[in-house]
Copies of this chain bind each other. A is one copy, B any other.
Amino acid sequence: MKTLVEALLRGERRALARLLTIVENEREGMDEALATLFPHTGKAWVIGITGAPGTGKSTLMNALTKAYRKAGKTVGIIAVDPTSPFSGGAILGDRIRMRDLAGDSGVFIRSMATRGSLGGLSRATRDAIRVLDAAGFDIVLVETVGAGQSEVDIVRTAQTTIVVEAPGLGDDVQAIKAGILEIADVLVVNKSDRPGADNTVRSLRAMLELGHPASRTQLIQHHGQLLEAPVPAGEHAITLWMPPIVRTVSTEETGIDELMAAIESHRAYLDDDGVLDTLDQQRIEIELHDRLQDALLTRLLRVLPGDSLAGVIRRVQMREMTPQQAVSAVLALQDERLLK
């Protein structure tokens, strides 16, 4: 494993691919590999890109990657498909982009789908980011399909989050904007040569302004933080960051320089204000909570006597106990076993 990690650190692409596979599938040796890599991480800038289908996210990623390459930066890409809990298919990342970027050793693309447990995707994404980071990529782009809660979770592992919109996507889009807007550090209106682009920009701006200074501060606080309780206003107050709105036409590579500049200024903002440090801690806290939940449940199921869970499930099904009561019963059973 050590040899493999050393090969990764030397920049060998085959070692990179193998380590990503190990991390994605939780293969043997993963913990050791990650422990060896870990001290070499923390140099990459992680950018999350999300948005509804039809906004042209993939083409935008492509254009952004080319621009970073032109600026001399290497780019690792993780394309996450949380909608596929069953087939571990590589649906994304292998399409438009590959044509332009194939053969460039400064770019590495990996598609990931959910494998195994439902919570596994966030874990795998975080660890895959670490592998790419240790491999020396300057920029790690994390793209997600869709715009649901799991995408929000994944994007939350990024340092700069880009939310992509486009004009004229119909009915439901307005609803998505409202929620997803709040995780955006940079907003992109792609396909901005289409009719309605001005309207999209205007309505985004209006929605941003609705979140007036006080609430924006709180939102930035929330960013990256486990939302167990609302943050009391004023506590750990952080300087206001107002997400810029960038217009792009990714198929023509228009507006990409402006997008890079917006990302850069967000990065400078985080560095200047020491916000990055706080956000880093919050990111780690979320990750530890996730991992602890998994570890605790695994242990409980191991400790539990044979078919006692099946018995409890049966009683809930018969409506003899509520799920709440079932949880108390199972916890009591576990404690009894642990104390013996």
* A residues lining the B interface (CB < 8 Å): 31, 34-35, 38-39, 41-42, 52-59, 81-87, 89, 91-92, 113-114, 116-118, 121, 126, 144-153, 169-176, 178-180, 182-183, 219, 222, 226-229, 277, 280-281, 284-285, 287-289, 291-297, 299-300, 309, 312-314, 316-317, 319, 322-327, 330-331, 338
- Which residue of chain B lies nearest to A286 when distances are taken between CB atoms in the complex? B118
**Does B148 lie within 8 Å of A147, measured CB to CB?**
yes
Query: Which residues of chain B have C-beta atoms less than 8 A from A146's C-beta?
Result: 52, 146-148, 176
**Does A173 lie within 8 Å of B54, measured CB to CB?**
yes
Q: Tell me how far the C-beta of A90 lies from the nearest C-beta in chain B, rounded to whole angstroms.
A: 10
**A287 in contact with B54 given A145-B176, A149-B82 (CB within 8 Å):** no
Interface of A (DSSP majority class): helix
Query: Which residues of chain B have C-beta atoms less than 8 A from A289's C-beta?
Result: 297
Query: Which residues of chain B have C-beta atoms less than 8 A from A327's C-beta?
Result: 288, 291-292, 295
- Which residue of chain B lies nearest to A182 when distances are taken between CB atoms in the complex? B86
**Does B153 lie within 8 Å of A295, measured CB to CB?**
no
Query: Which residues of chain B have C-beta atoms less than 8 A from A117's C-beta?
Result: 226-228
Q: Which one, B34, B83, B152, contacts A152 given CB within 8 A?
A: B83
**A84 in contact with B179 given A296-B300, A317-B280 (CB within 8 Å):** yes
Query: Which residues of chain B have C-beta atoms less than 8 A from A39's C-beta?
Result: 319
Q: Which one, B227, B291, B293, contacts A85 given CB within 8 A?
A: B227
A-B contact pairs, 8 of them (CB 8 A): A54-B173, A83-B175, A85-B149, A87-B179, A149-B149, A289-B297, A293-B293, A293-B297
Query: Which residues of chain B have C-beta atoms less than 8 A from A56's C-beta?
Result: 171
Q: Tell me how far the C-beta of A170 lies from the nearest C-beta in chain B, rounded to whole angstroms.
A: 4
Query: Which residues of chain B have C-beta atoms less than 8 A from A31's C-beta?
Result: 322, 324
Instruction: Please give me the 10 A-B residue pairs with the lowest Cβ-Cβ distance, nearest first.
Output: A148-B148, A84-B179, A83-B179, A149-B150, A53-B172, A296-B296, A54-B170, A82-B149, A293-B293, A146-B148
Query: Which residues of chain B have C-beta atoms less than 8 A from A287's C-beta?
Result: 323
**Does B314 lie within 8 Å of A281, measured CB to CB?**
yes
- Which residue of chain B lies nearest to A144 when distances are taken between CB atoms in the complex? B148
Q: Tell me how far the C-beta of A126 lies from the nearest C-beta in chain B, rounded to whole angstroms.
A: 8
Complex Cα distance A102/B56, Å?
38
Q: Tell me how far the C-beta of A330 lies from the nearest C-beta in chain B, rounded to whole angstroms.
A: 6
**Does A83 lie within 8 Å of B227, measured CB to CB?**
no
Query: Which residues of chain B have C-beta atoms less than 8 A from A330's C-beta?
Result: 288, 292
Complex Cα distance A35/B320, Å?
10
Query: Which residues of chain B have C-beta atoms less than 8 A from A173's C-beta?
Result: 53-54
**Does A292 lie within 8 Å of B284, measured CB to CB?**
no
Query: Which residues of chain B have C-beta atoms less than 8 A from A57's C-beta?
Result: 172
